[in-house]
Amino acid sequence: MKQPELGKKISELRKAKGLTQEELVEKCNISVRTIQRIETGEVTPRMYTIKTILAALDYNLDAVSNASDELNAPLLAKVKDFMLADADIEHSPYLVNQLNVAWVAGVIYFIIGFFEAAAEYTRFTTDEMIFGNTAYVVIKVLALVSYVFFIRGLIAIGGIFENYLLKITSMVLIGATFLMIGYDIVSIFYHPIEREALLLSASVTFGFIGIIFGVALRRLEPSLGRVAEFAGIIEIMAACFFVTMIFAFMGLIVQTPAVLLEIILIYKTMEIVKAKRTVNTLA
């Protein structure tokens, strides 16, 4: 839905809830001037802002969108919106929901990681599928999906605290993981290159990316405390093991506590966003 229809729809929804513009501001943490300009059709808000307002009105975005709008939206804008690349603490209702999804996805990814590691170790050392082909594919898909939603939380943190290095490296990690898991699945049925050689190359690649990722996490220390610093240090240590290739398996072991600390970082950021919203509501 485009302007001015979008603004009119939001105005109707607000009035149906019996809310004034000022009361809507308290619920969604967006300035009253922005709300006024959106409702009058003066500006076309970002998708992130629309989701925030509709979340505050307990309304589904799909109900005010249509298929043509979705098809005509630029692909890059869709990806940025999904990846929370424009996350801002101002958009607290929607952001809290997404951060909540992220830390839960992180827990799921952490648990699935043990099954994935067992499957990979057996496949690499004995060339056998300990869980069978179908279960292997399911584990890989679940690992990828949970990882994407988990890392989205770190991308959002990068936006909230203006840590652009964290945003970029997190996106690169998602892309690299997507390619690697995609190859793992395809390689069950088709072997275009030696998998061992690819794993060694991937180990070096993830190692170098991991070092930068660790540095980015450490930069969160002023905002999120020592947890961020410890997470960054452990990621750097794990990445150094990956770079050696020979001790890559040690990197996986060392990285385990880093994942837990990153889950804590996402949860901690969610609480900060909630607190900020409460302060603004009471102000």
For residue range 211-223, list pLDDT tens digits in order.
999 999 999 999 9
Clarify whether residues 116 and 246 are in a common domain. Answer: yes
Residues 100 and 221 in one domain: yes
On whether the CB atoms of residues 21 and 35 are closer than 8 A, the answer is: yes
Same domain, 155 and 269: yes
What is the tens place of the pLDDT at every residue in 252-262?
899 999 999 99
DSSP string, 234-262: HHHHHHHHHHHSTTHHHHHHHHHHHHHHH
Tokens of 253: 């072991």
Confirm whether 164 is domain-assigned. Answer: yes
* pTM: predicted TM-score of the whole model, two decimal places: 0.73
Long-range own/partner contacts, residues 99-102 (CB < 8 A, 24 or more apart): 99/153, 99/156, 99/266, 99/267, 99/269, 99/270, 99/273, 100/270, 101/149, 101/152, 101/153, 102/149, 102/150, 102/151, 102/152, 102/153, 102/154, 102/156, 102/266
Instruction: Classify residue 106: in a domain, yes or no.
Output: yes
Query: CA-CA distances (angstroms) from residue 135 to 116, 144, 226, 252?
Result: 10, 14, 39, 22
- Say yes or no: 42 and 172 in one domain: no
Tokens of 207: 């190692």
User: Who wins on pLDDT, 215 or 275?
Assistant: 215
Does 26 map to a domain? yes
Is residue 206 included in any domain, yes or no? yes
Least confident among 110-114, 251-255, 271-275: 271-275
DSSP string, 15-83: HHTT--HHHHHHHH---HHHHHHHHTTS----HHHHHHHHHHTT--GGGG--HHHHHHS-HHHHHHHHT
Question: How many domains does the chain contain in total?
Answer: 2
pLDDT > 80? residue 69: no
Confidence bin at 67 (pLDDT 50/70/90): very low
pLDDT at 206 over 70: yes
Question: Between 45 and 181, whose confidence is greater?
Answer: 181
In a domain, 84, yes or no: no
48 and 87 Cβ atoms separated by less than 8 Å = yes
Domain final residue, candidates 78, 107, 135? 78
User: Of 78, 102, 123, which residue constitutes the final position of a domain?
Assistant: 78
* Helical spans, DSSP H, in 73-225: 75-82, 92-126, 133-160, 164-186, 195-218, 221-224
Cβ proximity of 39 and 57 under 8 Å? no
* Same domain membership, residue 72 and residue 177: no
Q: Taking residues 112-140, what's their average pLDDT? A: 89
Whether residue 87 lies inside any domain: the answer is no
The residue among 78, 109, 124 that closes a domain is 78
Of 46-55, 112-121, 171-180, minimum mean pLDDT range: 46-55
Taking the C-alpha atoms of residue 121 and residue 156, their distance in angstroms, rounded to an integer, is 33
234 and 125 in a common domain:
yes
Is 85 among the domain residues?
no
Same domain, 9 and 127: no
Q: How far apart are CA 136 and CA 152, in angstroms?
A: 24
Q: Are residues 121 and 50 in the same domain?
A: no
Asked if residue 73 lies in contact with residue 37, where contact means CB atoms within 8 angstroms, the answer is: no
Averaged pLDDT of the chain:
85
Q: Are residues 164 and 63 in the same domain?
A: no
How far, in Å, CA of 123 to CA of 276, rounded?
48
> 214 and 134 in one domain?
yes
**Can you give the three-state secondary structure of 164-180, one letter per residue?**
HHHHHHHHHHHHHHHHH
| Structural domain includes residue 83 | no
**Most confident among 2-11, 13-22, 71-80, 85-94 (mean pLDDT):** 13-22
Q: Are residues 141 and 265 in the same domain?
A: yes
Q: Return the minimum-mean-pLDDT range out of 60-64, 107-111, 233-237.
A: 60-64
The C-alpha atoms of residue 104 and residue 123 are separated, in whole angstroms, by 29
Give the structural domain span for 97.
92-282
Structure tokens at 50: 């629309």
Same domain, 74 and 121: no
